[in-house]
Structure 1
Amino acid sequence: MSKITVKTQPIAGQKPGTSGLRKKTPVFMGPHYLENFVQAIFDTVGTVGKTFVLGGDGRYFNDRAAQVILRMAAANGAKRVIVGQGAVLSTPAASHLIRLNKTDGGIIMSASHNPGGPKEDFGVKFNMPNGGPAPEAVTEAMYKRTTELTEYHILEAQDVDLGTVGRHALGDMVVDVVDPVADYADLMESLFDFDKITAMFAAGFRMRMDSMCAVTGPYAVEILERRLGAAKGTVTHEVPLPDFGGMHPDPNPTWAHELMAEMMGEGAPDFGAASDGDGDRNMVVGRGIYVSPSDSLAVLAANAHLCKGYRAGLKGVARSMPTSAASDRVAASLGIASYETPTGWKFFGNLLDAGNATICGEESFGTGSDHVREKDGLWAILMWLNILAVRGESVEAIVKGHWAKFGRNYYSRHDFEAIATEKADAMMAALRASLASLAGRKLQGMEVSGADDFSYTDPVDGSVSAKQGVRVNFTDGSRIVYRLSGTGTEGATLRVYLERYVPGPDGLDRDAQEALSPVIAAAHELAGIEAFTGKVAPDVVT
């Protein structure tokens, strides 16, 4: 067993996005590609004498990448690595292990909701000692390091047995293989009233949880079926597979279509939920009603005091800029602060660490709280179950009651995928060039009140993040946001966010796409989506 230094050279394009570096799996499997990026991480954060967490969502190449990362950690002088059994950890569970063990950070192998398999997607990101994704200053330093590398360090050694819980030696480094579920499940039990939820299931409450052949399967089975007593078979697609069973592990109405069909059909369960590839996203569905992520965040914030871990109240609510303003109205009613940040969970980290916010959410099916520093799919699902158990009402009754009190923010996101990057960039450049002249312009009977390119100044550390999305506001409270996603691996994804507020009491029960139709038409007209991209309709509607 010896440490070797391998000569290499910079590989172009290793720039992390909002959630680490994501590329096609064959790219990561190419010569030196994974090793270069991991060495850049270690060079940036330092490794000598440090302890890290390592795990991933179990997608194709997860197991091999874990062995490479372990051998590189040992060669770079790390003291200890805590690894999920089988090299598997959900992203929120990894965040919890970092915080629980007070480690120096962790490496998470995941491309989140992106498909997995030999020709699909893979990703690597670094989370900081607070358990949250590395901030921009750190990811920029990692990227800069990738442009300078001339060598990386790795140990020549046999694979570590990651299939068995226990302690192993790898050179001078300790590898602790741990149960990936137990500590996380214990954390959930400390936050929610498991006795009340158990009683609800015992009284005949029925649920369907679609884990989409992804990482949350074992977590959901342990918590829902074993600890809470939900009927066996409540969790479907519960076995994580390297290719997610051919599924697209993104919990939205398009990709979780089996769940949607069941929840909208005859004899539907009382509650439905789904999670994504690495367990940080969630979708919530009631019998006959889909709950948008923006509405879900608002409902959770309004009812959090009903749950054991949040009875003292919330310090504040934070949302990403593209997320609807529904949670802002809840925060105002509670007399607490509300925050609007750029997209990317790392922007919530400072607010949570500073005690400014307790609950955070993104419209992209991500919700969480200060219990970890990642969004957390099962956490959100369990909070919904806790609220249902305490209130004794249906999902539909709770959501419609919320609208009656606060008004409804009709909301949708339209995704235009795999657009040629140069065409997407040209469209955004044209939009940005038009911003100063948009005020007063009328589109589809609506008048533009103002438009800007969202810039965020962090209230904790003063850092500035510019060009975070083009916002177009109308005098009637409607809103359009245009943004290019940083989570894809092929071409560009244009996300168009559409919002229209109706205060009620009438007009709260319309189909969202119908209610938003003038906003949708205005969005296409204003940006020239068809002219720039060739697309007349979105690929995914959520």
Structure 2
Amino acid sequence: MSYKIQEIATKPFDGQKPGTSGLRKRVKVFQQEHYTENFVQAIFDSVDAKGQTIVIGGDGRYFSPETVQTILKIGSANGVAKFIVGKDAILSTPAASNVIRKYKAYGGILLTASHNPGGPNADFGIKYNVSNGGPAPENVTDKIFEKTKTISSYKLIDLPALDLSKAGSFTFGPSKVEIIDSVKDYVELLESIFDFDLIKSFLLTNADSFKVLFDGMHGVTGPYGRAIFVDTLGLPPSAVQNAVPLPDFGGGHPDPNLTYAHELVENVESRNIQFGAASDGDGDRNMIYGKGAFVTPSDSVAIIADWAEEAIPYFKSGVKGVARSMPTSKQIEYVAKKKGLNCYEVPTGWKFFGNLMDAGKLSICGEESFGTGSDHIREKDGVWAIVAWLNILAFANKKSPNKLVGITELLQQHYEVYGRSFFSRYDYEEVSSEGAQKLVDALNAHITKGTLAGTTHKSASTGQTFTVADTLNFDYTDPVDGSVSKNQGQIVTFSDGSRVVFRLSGTGSQGATVRMYVERYVAPAAGAAELATETAQGLKGLIEVALEISKLKEFLGREKPTVIT
């Protein structure tokens, strides 16, 4: 096949700085002439992929098919030897991480804005993952950003678009392209981790009393859900809903939380379903929800860590260590202490977990933002977490054959041993960037001057008093490579062990998102009634105090958060 490589003149665009989750902007921004091409060329200029294999996948959101063609044309023109592409441009983030690792690829380009909405007026994203399957570290993303500021041209191979709808091997100019089944490798991976025979036996034996519902939220995991829950575990097709990936996620917000996964919650309650679960747009997040029982991500990772060695075959040889992101509750720390495991506290961002995993220090970890995972790949993995829960429940019921153990029972058992960290997150989305910065500046001033330490604050509605023990800005020194990450969030701790964390989030595409995390620990000795209190009631007083101390409503001009989880 004859082909010509063109050199297209261009000029830099402002603001093409990728974060841990890549570059995220509105679709219309990426559709500007040269905009996407500039960023893709900057990636190839930064990572030197000549003669290498690059994986391409994504969550199927609007503008993905066109961008895959752009990556193929620019990558081939820059000397990429081989591309491995998910059929129809579909490859979940966890599946892409697995493919990079399994086939020893040089890296991967993922087209996703994760849990953000999709469609022509919504969000798009481009993310680069390195050879370990995890997100590019800062030294790589910084280099990409520097390239975007000086770019003057990009290379483009002059070839017609490649048909992405058929699996197989193809030639694309000087490059080879392997279009793969996006589900097959991932299902095989999970089958090597979990006891599928045990799960299937449990589900079939208790088909009438233990029903399952998985919600793909019209994101990437619909086909994975069908392959696992229906084809492999033998559940009826009705056990999976919203399973067709759509460019606009069916007009919904593919974020698996109590607000946006309301259809799952409603169906679980109305149909008396014991185990409900949802995943997000690109498949790296999850929510576990059974009738009357919501599992916080902080509790979820703690329970998985507690049962892992006993219940899950992959961990039979032992858990190397556990970790949580700083805003995540300390529930997993109580498990680690009892089991004699190291527990690491890292900044938000999966790359920090990846470093610990590569060094052999970490097996199980989680973020409060509905991300949970292990060292089987280098991304958080929503479907993995869901199957982990089913494996644990199947094992728990094998141990207690005379009484059905569901989500509620598993949570109660856990709290009776470890106590409970009441935890909630308030998201204030697309607020004024100026107001958000004023909030952060005010908190940092308190930290610098120490003006809050020792002050006592009383909740008007509950009468509870909270005395500030300390305020700090979270800094992290990586124990593997010594790198330092500063200003990762403002923390207010109280004398009773409670704490409140404030963070400016980088996952939105415009404006600012402020997240407030509230945590209050109650020891096992408090008794069953206190441990079973509704989360909102358990945290009511502390939330009032947190809003008073931070003056959040005043700075952001918002009376209520966009989302409460």
Q: Establish whether TM, by shorter chain, passes 0.5.
A: yes
Identify the residue that residue 531 of structure 1 maps to in structure 2: 554
Letter in 1 for 2:547: H
TM-score, with normalisation over the residues of structure 2?
Answer: 0.95
Alpha-carbon distance between aligned partners in 2 of 1:226 and 1:498, rounded to the nearest angstrom: 41
Alignment of 1:444-463 (within 5 A): 444=458, 445-463=465-483
| Residue in structure 2 matched with residue 286 of structure 1 by the alignment | 290
For 2:130, the equivalent position in structure 1 comes to: 128
Q: How far apart are residue 476 of structure 1 and its match? A: 0.3
Q: 1:298 aligns with which of 299, 302, 314?
A: 302
Counterpart of 1:427 in structure 2 is 439
CA distance in 2, matches of 1:308, 1:427: 47
Measured after TM superposition, the shift of residue 111 of structure 1 is 0.2
The alpha carbon displacement at 1:263 in A equals 2.4
CA distance in 2, matches of 1:342, 1:180: 31
Could you tell which deviates more after superposition, 56-65 or 504-513? 504-513
The one-letter code matched in structure 1 to 2:273 is P
**Contact persistence 1:472–1:481 (CA under 8 A):** yes
Q: Distance in 2 between matches of 1:428 and 1:212?
A: 34
Give the letter aligned to residue 501 of structure 1: Y
Of residues 485, 505, 519, the one that matches 2:542 is: 519
SS in 2 for 1:233: helix
Deviations 1:62-118 (CA, angstroms, capped at 9, x unpaired): 100000001100000000010000111000000000000001000000000000000
How big is each residue's C-alpha offset from its partner over 1:133-190, in whole Å with a ceiling of 9 and x where there is no partner? Answer: 0011111111111111111111111011111001111110001000100000000000
Secondary structure, aligned partner of 1:131: coil
* Structure 1 residue 287 displacement after superposition: 2.2
Listed one character per residue, the Cα deviations across residues 455-512 of structure 1 (whole Å, up to 9, x for unaligned) are: 0000000000000000010000110000011000120010000000000332111111
Structure 2 counterpart SS, 1:521: helix
Distance apart, 1:365 and its partner CA: 0.2
Pairs aligned (count): 541
Amino acid in structure 1 at the alignment position of 2:292: G
Paired residue secondary structure (1:319) = strand
- Consecutive aligned runs of 4 or more in structure 1 exceeding 6 Å deviation: none
Match of 1:386, SS state, is helix
Show the 5 A alignment for 1:1-16.
1-16=3-18
Deviations 1:251-276 (A, max 9, x none): 000000011122234x4112000000
Q: CA deviation at 1:519?
A: 1.4
8 Å contact from structure 2 (residues 20, 137) kept in 1: no
1:221 aligned partner: 226
Question: Helix, strand or coil: the match of 2:317?
Answer: coil
Give me the whole-angstrom Cα distance separating, in 1, the residues matched to 2:536 and 2:562: 15
Contact 1:206 1:230 in 2 (8 A): no
CA distance in 2, matches of 1:523, 1:22: 30
Partners of 1:16 and 1:525 lie apart in 2 by 34
- 1:245-394 matches, within 5 Å, as 245-265=250-270, 267-305=271-309, 306-392=311-397, 393-394=405-406
Return the offset for 1:410.
Answer: 0.1
Question: What amino acid does structure 2 have at the position aligned with 1:424?
Answer: A
Q: In the alignment, what sits opposite 1:438?
A: 452
Matching residue's letter, 1:264? E
Alignment partner of 2:425 out of 410, 413, 418: 413
Mapping 1:390-405, distance limit 5 Å: 390-392=395-397, 393-405=405-417
Residues 239-250 of structure 1 mapped to structure 2, 5 A cutoff: 239-250=244-255
- CA offset digits 1:383-425 (Å, max 9, x no partner): 0000111111111101110001000000000001111111101
Q: 1:180 aligns with which of 161, 179, 182?
A: 182
User: What displacement does 1:17 show?
Assistant: 2.0
What do residues 309-338 of structure 1 show as CA deviations (whole Å, max 9, x unaligned)?
A: 111221100110000000011111110100
TM-score using structure 1 length: 0.99
1:151 to 133, 150, 153: 153
Indicate the residue corresponding to 1:467 in structure 2.
487
- Residue identity opposite 2:341 in structure 1: I
Q: Separation in 1 of the partners of 2:289 and 2:317?
A: 28
Aligned pair partner of 1:481 in 493, 501, 505: 501
**DSSP 3-state at the match of 1:423:** helix
User: In structure 1, what is the Cα distance between the partners aligned to 2:369 and 2:547?
Assistant: 21
Output the CA distance in 1 between the equivalents of 2:162 and 2:302. 45
CA apart distance, 1:18: 2.7
Q: CA deviation at 1:16?
A: 1.0
Matches of 1:523 and 1:150 in 2, distance apart? 49
2:104 to 95, 102, 113: 102
| Partners of 2:429 and 2:57 in 1: CA distance | 29
Partner of 2:462: none
The SS at the match of 1:303 is helix
List gaps (5 residues or longer) in structure 1: none
How far apart in 1 are the matches of 2:144 and 2:412? Answer: 47
Q: Provide the C-alpha distance between the structure 2 equivalents of 1:3 and 1:519, rounded to a whole number of angstroms.
A: 62
The answer as to whether partners of 1:111 and 1:122 remain within 8 angstroms in 2 is yes
Distance of 1:541 and 1:353 partners within structure 2: 34
3-state DSSP class of the match of 1:224?
Answer: helix
Task: Write the distance in 1 (CA, Å) between the matches of 2:490 and 2:420.
Answer: 23
CA distance in 1, matches of 2:76, 2:216: 34
Residue aligned with 1:264, SS: helix
Contact 2:20 2:136 in 1 (8 A): no
Instruction: Tell me how far 1:347 sits from its aligned partner.
Output: 1.1
Matched, 1:541 2:564: yes
Rounded to whole Å, the distance in 1 between the matches of 2:562 and 2:121 is 21
Deviations 1:316-364 (A, max 9, x none): 0011000000001111111010000000111111001011010010000
State how far apart, in whole Å, the 1-side matches of 2:19 and 2:432 are: 18
Does the 8 Å contact 1:316/1:358 carry over to 2? yes
Name the aligned partner's letter for residue 441 of structure 1: T
Letter in 2 for 1:437: T
Residue 401 (structure 2) aligns with: none
Counting aligned pairs with the same residue, the percent is 50
The amino acid across from 2:457 in the alignment is: L
Q: In the alignment, is the contact (CA less than 8 A) between 2:500 and 2:546 conserved in 1?
A: yes
Query: In the alignment, is the contact (CA less than 8 A) between 1:366 and 1:376 conserved in 2?
Result: yes
1:7-46 equivalence runs, <5 A: 7-46=9-48
- Which 5+ residue runs of structure 2 have no aligned equivalent? 398-404, 459-464
